[in-house]
Amino acid sequence: SLSDRLTATFKNLKGKGRLSEADIDGTAREIRRALLDADVAVPVVREFIAKVKARALGAEVSEALNPGQQVVKIVNEELVGILGGETRELRFAKQPPTIIMLAGLQGAGKTTLAGKLAHRLKSQGHTPMLVACDLQRPNAVNQLQVGGQKAGAPVFAPHPGVSSEAETPTGDPVQVARDGVAEAQSKLHDVVIIDTAGRLGVDQELMDQAANIKSAVGAHEVLFVIDAMIGQDAVATAQAFDEGVDFTGVVLSKLDGDARGGAALSVASVTGKPVMYASTGEGLKDFEVFHPDRMARRILDMGDVLSLIEQAEASWDQAEAAKMAQKFADQEDFTLDDFLNQMQQLKKMGSMKKLLGMMPGAQGMREQLEQFDESSIGRIEAMIQSMTQHERLAPKIINGSRRARIARGSGVHVSEVNQLLERFGQAQKMMKKMASGGGVPQMPGGGG
Ligand code: GDP
Ligand code: MG
């Protein structure tokens, strides 16, 4: 597996401590192979690897991870980023009904999805109505009606009494869409889901029809449904639908099969549109919100490696937190010089908030940090540097006239000097508390 191969690659890299081009190449080669195995489109793979390499070369060397792990971490972050970062859900129109239109090739899973969406929306308290605009395929209207019935949502169709399964309904899909939305409005449905026709390949006439339906009803969301097994065709298909109907989101269907989901990366990468949902079967409930991080793991097939990376980072963070706690505890007389020193350290640490989150008894420090603004460091420096050595060691003597002098000398307002001294007072109190054992002894490995 990729995990095994990468673990072997990492062994060779151990202890190097610095990212060289050769290190990156080795890991990048494995990643490229994994992406191609997952059926990510070739040009997407090429572009992706180039981006990862460029970022890895410019990356600061991590103290927590070895170079190979660092590259994988970057790969994972980039993957999650392309797949949409955060999960995105449907956006509802301010003025109901919200109109959702489904588009995609025949067999992609649109009609099935319509039922699933209706089911999900109903469980959230919405009152969806389905509109059957696939007048192309025999039985399409009937199929939607069955789905609607299961989901408990009414279906608007060109002629309600479709009886024979073989019957192909006739009519103008654009008009059906308009009528369906009007019907939903009059019956106070707050969401309308429009099912449309698709063909086996991209087809201009059908694309035009979909675009016409979209503009006729002013669809708020156009969901492009794509079969996860489509493989290398994903790019061309997604591009055609992106140009044709300018969809707002992607639904990846048939993820219950063997497909590793490379299509998700291909589509998201060439269109920049978010993947919103995943379909995982034929049943109404086989449907979930799309999770970019989980999909990144599935595509790379390396959950083990990522878990190791997370563990390595967490234990490094803990060790750092322990070191910091020890340093604080060792300081008996906490002066303004120390304060400045700490501020400068905080700035360097970056992930301080996370570190402090792991330190028992560091609540006060955490609060301080919430107010900590990196851009204020320069002003704090200036103020402390405008103080005499005596003032820095014994801030109690800083009275009104001294405050005014310090403010003048550092070019800030007196209120900022007051604020600084107040914050220093809080920090000093906390240092005393920590030094006298108020929490530090509980630190894992902190010694105390
Ligand atoms: P449409 O042509 O885009 O409307 O596609 P359909 O909704 O009719 O689906 C085509 C076929 O794929 C049907 O047999 C569905 O039951 C099946 N299907 C749809 N979604 C899924 C899915 O997520 N997983 C599996 N295994 N089958 C699905
Ligand atoms: Mg259909």
Q: What is the DSSP letter of 247?
A: -
Please tell me the distance from the alpha carbon of residue 163 to that of residue 131, in angstroms, as a whole number: 17
Whether 132 and 143 have beta carbons less than 8 Å apart is answered as no
Ligand 1 atom, smallest distance to 134 CA: 4
Does 428 contact ligand 1 (Cβ within 6 A)?
no
For residue 202, what are its two tokens? 């991209």
Does 111 contact ligand 1 (Cβ within 6 A)?
yes
- Nearest CA-CA partner of 30 in 52, 54, 5: 5
Query: Given this model, what pLDDT does residue 163 score?
Result: 47
Ligand nearest to C-alpha 223: 1
Which domains, from first to last, does the chain contain? 2-82 (1.20.120.140), 98-291 (3.40.50.300), 319-442 (1.10.260.30)
**For ion ligand 2, residues whose CB falls within 5 Å:** 110-111
Given the structure tokens 């996860």, which residue do they identify? 228
Please tell me the distance from the alpha carbon of residue 156 to that of residue 272, in angstroms, as a whole number: 33
Please tell me the distance from the alpha carbon of residue 427 to that of residue 335, in angstroms, as a whole number: 10
Please tell me the distance from the alpha carbon of residue 132 to that of residue 192, in angstroms, as a whole number: 11
Beta strands in 245-389 (DSSP E): 249-253, 275-279, 287-289
**DSSP secondary structure string, 299-313?**
HHT-HHHHHHHHHHH
ipTM of this complex: 0.99
- Nearest CA-CA partner of 102 in 143, 136, 73, 130: 130
Bridge partners, 130 (sequence order): 155, 193
Query: Given this model, what pLDDT does residue 193 score?
Result: 98
**Amino acid at position 290, single letter:** F
Report which secondary-structure segment, H or E, holds 193: strand 191-195
Of the CA atoms within 13 Å of residue 435, those in its CB half-sphere come to: 13
**DSSP secondary structure string, 17-72?**
-S--HHHHHHHHHHHHHHHHHTT--HHHHHHHHHHHHHHHHHSPPPSSS-HHHHHH
Does 69 contact ligand 1 (Cβ within 6 A)?
no
Q: pTM for this one?
A: 0.72
For residue 25, what are its two tokens? 């190449």
Residue 3 has φ and ψ, to the nearest 5°, of -55, -50
- Residue 422 burial (10 A CB sphere; 0-12, 13-18, 19+): exposed
Query: Given this model, what pLDDT does residue 256 score?
Result: 92
User: How many helices and strands in the chain, by DSSP H and E?
Assistant: 19, 8
Ligand nearest to C-alpha 255: 1
Per-residue pLDDT of the chain (448 residues; tens, 9 = 90+): 666 666 666 655 544 555 778 778 888 888 898 899 888 999 999 999 999 998 888 777 777 787 788 888 899 999 998 988 777 889 999 999 999 999 999 999 999 999 999 999 999 999 999 999 999 888 999 999 999 999 999 999 986 444 444 455 678 999 999 999 999 999 999 999 999 998 888 889 999 999 999 999 999 999 999 999 998 899 999 999 999 999 999 999 999 988 888 999 999 999 999 999 999 999 999 999 999 988 888 888 776 777 777 877 777 777 776 776 666 666 557 788 878 877 776 665 555 555 555 555 555 555 655 666 666 778 888 999 999 988 988 888 999 999 999 999 999 999 999 999 998 888 777 777 766 655 443 333 333 3
- Residue 128 burial (10 A CB sphere; 0-12, 13-18, 19+): buried
Query: Given this model, what pLDDT does residue 202 score?
Result: 82
- For ligand 2, the distance from its centroid to the CA atom of residue 369, given in whole angstroms, is 55
Ligand nearest to C-alpha 106: 1
For residue 374, what are its two tokens? 């990196």
Beta strands in 44-163 (DSSP E): 98-103, 128-132, 155-156
Each as own residue / partner, the long-range contacts of residues 409-415 (CB below 8 Å, 24 or more positions apart, any chain) are 410/379, 410/382, 410/383, 410/385, 410/386, 411/382, 412/379, 412/382, 412/383
- Cβ neighbours for 324, distance < 8 A, ≥ 6 positions apart: 355, 359
Please tell me the distance from the alpha carbon of residue 7 to that of residue 191, in angstroms, as a whole number: 49
Q: Name the residue of 136, 224, 250, 253 whose CB sits within 8 Å of the most ligand 1 atoms, as the mutation to test its pocket.
A: 253
Given the structure tokens 């420096």, which residue do they identify? 381
